[in-house]
Amino acid sequence: MKKILLLEDDVNLNQGITLCLKKEGYDVFSCTTIREAEKTFEAEEINLVVSDISLPDGSGLDFCKEVRQKSSVIIIMLTSYNQEYDVVAGYEHGADDYVTKPFSLMVLISKVNALIKRLPDNESRIFSSGDIRLNLSEMKVFVERELAQLSKTEMQMLVYFMENPKQILTQEQLLEKIWDNKGDYVDSNTVSVNISRLRQKIGKDKIKTVRGVGYLWISDVQKL
């Protein structure tokens, strides 16, 4: 069961969102303050965070930034401000998506379901390959025991490679797996650019370019 952390200080809205998410089959941890959310995030293996921006003990943007420094977990921001600045600020602080108040609960649930479906669903929750350790439950990657700060796209690519070690993955396969139906703008350089960024964070020798064919994760992968 996927775990969702909800940070919303409006009690009625909090209860409404919680009820809807539980009906969808999620395990929901409801919080009304950042302090409470921080403790919950540390104690539980959270898969997705839904957070308001305006909170009684601080800004949800700061909480979002704090979470992103620790994990690649999915983050959806709730905001009362229908302004471009707040949307941009949310993305800059590490959010994956946002919903502007007032909103339909079904719209939020649809976004949650769509993002959750992109998460890997594998019995083996930890992959190990050389000095890289990938924890799927916590969506964290460690390189030489140091936490690597990966974007959502970089995380998805890494998971795909480690699920298919020593297999050539074509550009078309990567585009379909990572970007299909996401609505993102992609061009012929999208895969190579993101591969380059991933290499910079996990090591340049992990992914081999097979010219004219695709990319290859060169090492064995153990599923723990």
Amino acid at 72: S
Nearest to 130 by CA among 202, 197, 70, 194: 202
What is the average pLDDT across 111-139?
Answer: 82
> What pLDDT, on the 0 to 100 scale, is given for residue 37?
96
What is the average pLDDT across 205-218?
Answer: 94
What is the average pLDDT across 89-110?
Answer: 87
Q: Where in the chain is the domain with CATH 1.10.10.10?
A: 126-223
Neighbour count for residue 57 (Cβ, 10 Å): 12
Cα dist from 163 to 34, 115, 122, whole Å: 35, 19, 9
**What's the CA gap between 128 and 220, in Å, rounded?**
9
Give the number of residues written for the chain.
Answer: 224
For domain 126-223, is the CATH number 1.10.10.10? yes
What is the average pLDDT across 41-49?
Answer: 91
3-state secondary structure of 157: helix
Between residues 179 and 6, the one the model is more confident about: 6
pLDDT band at 162 (very low <50, low <70, confident <90, very high): very high
Residue pair 149/69 in contact (Cβ under 8 Å)? The answer is: yes
What is the average pLDDT across 128-139?
Answer: 89
What is the average pLDDT across 145-157?
Answer: 90
Strands 74-79 and 132-135: unpaired
The domain made up of 3-117 has a fold known as: Rossmann fold (3.40.50)
> What pLDDT, on the 0 to 100 scale, is given for residue 183?
42
> What pLDDT, on the 0 to 100 scale, is given for residue 178?
84
Q: Where in the chain is the domain with CATH 3.40.50.2300?
A: 3-117
122, pLDDT greater than 50: no
Mean pLDDT of the chain, nearest integer: 88
